[in-house]
């Protein structure tokens, strides 16, 4: 293996340490409100982690937990209440919602100025037009990790994003475009996907297909930012056991790439770090505080 391993865990820790110093100098504590609906075990783990890390950097966390039989009206009324609460700077609606609830409609109830996940239509519009606003966390993490590997100036790099989802693929392409990269978005209808991937200086697989990208798809020396998190059988660990893998086949890609993110420990930790960063940005914008240069 020749590639440099880009540790999202380490970079996320650096971001949180920086945020802790920034928050300590603010006039008061930024506040993140987290809304969990139902009893999904994975969501509960994510929420506990987000609440803990929010408090570790010196911010205030408010946790609202609605039952799994909560109605669409219950969810949207809570979000509206948080919109009008002057003490709340950011609102995070933990996804997925229980079956029967309309996620898209609920997300649109979040005020764009408190949309720390960057998922509302207004946030997407601001991003597409290059206007200031809160950016989606996972794609932002991808850009930060690419810069950690390649340097702050990504101008002229060819970035290939595999996947066109509104959560990662499309916003990632726009964020890399804002860094003056040349962008290609690949998807299921793309012809000769392998050849397109081999032209990438920065390759971002984000399709949710385990180990789809092979080493021969990677341009020698390229930077691979693997967004995929897939659970696959791991019989070597015992009957019924599983392991996490990315959308890139790590061993073969690492033999060719110049740098690559691992799974787990790559893009994943960056999502929460960027969520916390967005909460500070939202608080400064809402409250008229000077925007810290460190952000």
Domain boundary assignment for the chain: 28-112, 137-267
Q: What is the pLDDT of residue 240?
A: 84
Q: Which CATH architecture has domain 137-267?
A: 3-Layer(aba) Sandwich (3.40)
| 117 in active site | yes
Residue 246 has pLDDT above 90, yes or no: yes
Q: How much is the average pLDDT of 207-214?
A: 96
Residue of 50, 157, 170, 219 with catalytic role: 50
Q: CATH second-level architecture of 28-112?
A: 3-Layer(aba) Sandwich (3.40)
pLDDT at residue 293, as a whole number:
87
Give the pLDDT of residue 131: 95
- pLDDT at position 238 is 85
What is the per-residue pLDDT for 2?
87
Q: pLDDT tens digit string along 84-135?
A: 999 999 999 999 999 999 999 999 999 999 999 999 999 999 999 999 999 9
- Known catalytic residue: 94? yes
Domains 28-112 and 137-267 share a fold: yes
* Residue 279: burial class (beta carbons within 10 Å; 0-12, 13-18, 19+): buried
Q: Which of 89, 113, 115, 117 is the catalytic position?
A: 117
Q: Between the CA atoms of 171, 176, 177 and 182, what dihedral angle is there, to the nearest 10 degrees?
A: -130
Q: Is the pLDDT of residue 1 over 70?
A: no
Band of residue 188 on the pLDDT scale cut at 50, 70, 90? confident
Catalytic residue check, 89 = no
210-245: burial string, b at 16+ Cβ within 10 Å, e else:
bbbbebebbbeebbbbbbbbbeeeeeeeeeeeeebb
Predicted structure pTM score: 0.95
């Amino acid at each position: 293996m020749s590639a440099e391993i880009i540790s999202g865990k380490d970079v996320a820790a650096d971001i949180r340490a920086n945020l802790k110093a920034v928050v300590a100098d603010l006039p008061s504590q930024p506040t993140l409100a987290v809304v969990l609906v139902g009893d999904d075990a994975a969501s509960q783990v994510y929420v506990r982690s987000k609440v803990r890390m929010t408090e570790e950097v010196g911010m205030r966390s408010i946790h609202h937990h609605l039952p799994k039989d909560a109605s669409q009206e219950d969810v949207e009324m809570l979000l509206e209440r948080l919109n009008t609460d002057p003490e709340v700077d950011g609102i995070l609606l933990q996804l997925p919602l229980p079956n029967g609830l309309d996620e898209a409609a609920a997300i649109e109830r979040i005020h764009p100025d408190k949309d720390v996940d960057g998922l509302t239509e207004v946030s997407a519009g601001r991003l597409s037009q290059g206007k200031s606003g809160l950016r989606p966390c996972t794609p932002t993490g991808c850009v930060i990790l690419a810069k950690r590997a390649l340097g702050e100036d990504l101008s002229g790099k060819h970035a290939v994003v595999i996947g066109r989802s509104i959560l990662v693929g499309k916003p990632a392409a726009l964020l890399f475009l804002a860094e003056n990269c040349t962008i290609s978005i690949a998807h299921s209808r793309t012809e000769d996907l392998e050849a397109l991937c081999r032209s990438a200086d920065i390759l971002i697989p984000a399709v949710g297909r385990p180990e789809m990208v092979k080493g021969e798809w990677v341009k020698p020396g390229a930077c691979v930012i693997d967004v995929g998190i897939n659970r696959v059988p791991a019989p070597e660990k015992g009957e019924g056991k599983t392991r996490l893998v990315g959308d890139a086949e790590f061993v073969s890609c690492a033999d060719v790439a110049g740098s690559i993110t691992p799974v787990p420990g790559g893009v994943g930790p960056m999502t929460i770090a960027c969520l916390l960063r967005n909460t500070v940005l939202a608080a400064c914008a809402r409250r008229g505080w000077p925007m810290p240069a460190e952000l």
